[in-house]
Amino acid sequence: MQLSIAHTTTYRYASPVRSGLQELRLRPRNGANQTVASWELTLEGAEHQLSFDDHYGNRVDLVSLTPGTTEIQVRAQGVVDTLDTAGVAARHVGHTPMWFYLRSTERTEVGRGVRGFCEQVQTEDDDVNRLHALSGAIRDGVAYRPGESHVASTAEEAIEVGAGVCQDHAHVFIAAARHLGHPARYVSGYLLMGNTVEQDATHAWAEAWIDGLGWVGFDVSNGISPDERYVRVATGLDYRAAAPIRGVTYGAGDESLEVELQVQVGTGGQQ
Amino acid sequence: MDVRPGYFDEMYGDGSALRAPYRQYEEWFAREDPRRLLKKSADAEALFRRTGITFNVYGSEEGDERLIPFDIVPRIIAAREWARLERGIEQRVRAINAFLHDIYHRQEILRAGRIPKEVIADNDAFLPEMIGFTPPGGVYTHIVGIDLVRTDDNDFYVLEDNARTPSGVSYMLENRETMLQMFPELFTRSRVRPVSEYPRDLRSSLAATAPVRTSGRPLVAVLTPGIHNSAYFEHAFLADQMGAELVEGHDLSVVDGRIAMRTTEGPEPIDVLYRRVDDDYLDPLTFNPSSLLGVPGVMDVYRSGGITIANAPGTGIADDKAVYSYMPEIIDFYTGEKPLLQNVPTWRCSEPDSLAYVLDHLSELVVKEVHGSGGYGMLVGPAASKREISRFTRKLKASPANYIAQPTLALSTVPILTRNGLAPRHVDLRPFALVSPNTIRITPGGLTRVAMKRGSLVVNSSQGGGTKDTWVMED
């Protein structure tokens, strides 16, 4: 399937920026499930400084905010050809060892809630079945409901509230999978949803390592493994590590954020 | 002078005879008027105070500045002894760099089962951001300070490897400078190898690891946390001595994909950053977001090949005390050689059998925090009171993996000058190795730290230790 994506993020600042840096993880890479036909980043109010590959294999762009600006815009757009690989995203590339993906982070710390989900699926003896059961149990226990959580919410907090968004679902899944001994990671990306072109937000799901298969995706929010409607952009131990944009800003006062996202089949007029 | 029974004295051996490396010095000393020497000793102190070599003591209430005591009796090492140490240090430093490259790439040593995975996986000193990245020139530890102790005529042990930001080299240089000024006649009698090349060697060794894209003479800068840091004097001193810029985090920013320093002629990109700021504070964008000492974006510039950071971030995994106990394995694994310098036998309290042994023998052992340094948070069994031991027992039981234990070594003594003449005091030695892509240079000398209190085995300056000039003799 050919997907055309246009993703614009706008930050507005209450007072002119003195200085600031943003790390962008906004470049999908080629993999088993996707080939990038074209991709472009454009900036307003910021200047591109450098690019490098981080230890997860993400392509990172560092941009600096233009001093004095009160608004920056980051636009990522392009065309990606996707395949349905039954959720199997990739073999492992790079030197990051599997044990690293068993590390817990602030957002994926294991508490009573996560342990509860683990207990529910312990009887499954096949890895794939156990992880699918886990995904189902989380979906039943943590309703998809925007507005109940925030970017810094932890897995345990989402379970406590009993609701969250795709980010929270992914965190709960990752925390539980690791607790069960499966290396797991967070994936940020795009999803073609329903019949609408306009999407509310970028998507997030989880991947777990299964011996013999590789990294396998689990989208708890939609109760499926990713198919040809999904585009992987960045991975990491949790949201913080894989976030599309993360940075430091000095002297900007309050900031507001607006995301505009279009995902559609075909080239969408893009070359 | 009476030597301490049971301890090797580097000047008088077991007390029966003067040792050869000290012969010329002793001849001179015997003819000197002790009152003149005591007066000189006071002069030396005044000199240091004027130069401004003081340091802040961590944990003291006002963080007050204090002078590290200097003793005028040199610590003398024979050419033959030094040659042995030099080979041992070089071997160790080579192994440390090979280990660091491996641990941040294929991790062959873990695959081979020579180090348990947990020692690395559960270790905060392992820096994921370094995975898959090779520093310019392949050098991880540009500067290493290896802490050695001697127990008799033949035996030296490595106490610890300082592979992060070893300090103390300014004392090596200033102590020699002071001795040259006060006792020039000594240096015409004895052929002492100079240490004054160190700043030049440091500069050329750092410059040799500049990023590939550097053209012309690389710009080297020393990054200091600032004037309130205990080693600020050393940062300023080294920058001055090697002709490098002394900068703080707020002087630097990302410009055109590089780290640039503000100058009157506009931003100037830095090629090599000799940082004296810990990993955690180095870059608020990548590490501790609340750090005001660091440079936002420096890790990204580093990973895109735009700057060299010395020492490389993440080198702490090589001098961590838990990893230290595997150094013989590490040397064997990467060099195929037997270690030339011995490790101190070490009990890892994370292992139940070792913990049981350590708890039973606390009064004989030295127990250290795995991640501690500077002599803080350690227990010296033989010197500890019953109450201290029982307090430490509780700490040990609560988090055993936090500690290692070692036998109390019979540290050698070297005489210091007291009002009553020479008196033996325990010492250690920190030589400094400089690593560039093709060579390892070890300055003939180092920092000799001396416990000024009679009988004390703790030489750390933060615990009242002093320093001596260290002489390595020509053949």
Point out which residues pair with A79 in neighbouring strands.
A4, A38
From chain A, the residues in CB contact with B296 under 8 A are 21, 248
Q: Tell me the CATH number for domain A88-242.
A: 3.10.620.30
The dihedral of CA B410, B416, B421, B422: what is its sign? positive
Count the helices and strands in chain A (H runs, E runs).
5, 16
Q: Give yes or no for a contact between B78 and B20, defined as CB atoms under 8 angstroms apart.
A: yes
Identify the closest residue of chain B to A241 by CA–CA distance.
Answer: B286
Q: What is the pLDDT of residue B159?
A: 92
Cβ of A99 within 8 Å of Cβ of B301? The answer is no
CA-nearest of A1, A45, A2, A54 to A26 is A54
Q: How far is A106 from chain B (nearest CA, A)?
A: 14
From chain A, the residues in CB contact with B119 under 8 A are none
Chain A to chain B Cβ contacts (< 8 Å): 69
Give contacts of A 78-107 with B, CB under 8 A: 94-97, 99-100, 102-103
Task: Work out the average pLDDT over B357-371.
Answer: 91
Question: Domain A2-83+244-265: which topology?
Answer: Immunoglobulin-like (2.60.40)
Q: What is the pLDDT of residue B242?
A: 96
Task: Work out the average pLDDT over B435-464.
Answer: 91
CA-nearest of B439, B451, B466, B462 to B204 is B439
| Cα–Cα distance measured from residue B392 to residue B396, given in angstroms and rounded to the nearest whole number | 6
Q: How far is B180 from chain A (nearest CA, A)?
A: 50
Tell me the pLDDT of chain B averaged across its residues: 92
pTM over 0.90: yes
Q: Give yes or no for a contact between B300 and B337, defined as CB atoms under 8 angstroms apart.
A: no
Q: What is the pLDDT of residue B463?
A: 76
Kindly report the CATH class assigned to B345-408.
Answer: alpha beta
Q: How far is B192 from chain A (nearest CA, A)?
A: 48
Q: Under 8 Å CB-to-CB from B391, ≥6 apart: which residues?
A: none
pLDDT in tens, B277-323: 999 999 999 998 888 889 999 999 999 999 999 999 999 999 988 89
From chain B, the residues in CB contact with A55 under 8 A are 128-133
SS3 B162: strand
pLDDT in tens, B228-274: 888 899 999 999 999 999 999 999 999 999 999 999 999 999 999 99
Q: Select the residue of B133, B284, B300 nearest A62 (Cβ to Cβ).
A: B300
N-to-C CA span, chain A: 16
Pick the CATH number of B212-306 from 3.90.1640.30, 3.30.420.40, 3.40.50.720, 3.40.50.11290: 3.40.50.11290
Q: What is the pLDDT of residue A270?
A: 59
Can B212-306 and B345-408 be said to share one CATH topology? no
Residue bearing tokens 């993400």 = A58
Identify the closest residue of chain A to B127 by CA–CA distance.
Answer: A55
Q: Per-block average pLDDT, block size 10, for chain A (271 residues)?
A: 96 95 97 95 98 97 96 97 86 91 96 97 92 97 93 95 96 98 97 80 94 94 95 97 94 91 83 50
The three-point CA angle B190-B195-B200 to 5° equals: 145
The dihedral of CA A84, A90, A91, A97: what is its sign? negative
Q: Given a cut of 50, is residue B53 above it in pLDDT?
A: yes
Cβ of A55 within 8 Å of Cβ of B128? The answer is yes
What ipTM goes with this model?
Answer: 0.95
Say how many C-beta atoms besides its own lie within 10 A of residue A246's C-beta.
Answer: 17
Q: Select the residue of B107, B129, B297 nearest A97 (Cβ to Cβ).
A: B107
What is the residue extent of each domain of chain A?
A: 2-83+244-265, 88-242
Q: What's the gap between Cα B92 and its chain centre?
A: 14
Say how many C-beta atoms besides its own lie within 10 A of residue B464's C-beta.
Answer: 17
What is the residue extent of each domain of chain B?
A: 212-306, 345-408
Q: What is the pLDDT of residue B393?
A: 94
Q: What is the pLDDT of residue A269?
A: 63
pLDDT in tens, B90-109: 999 999 999 999 999 999 99
Q: Given a cut of 70, is residue B61 above it in pLDDT?
A: no
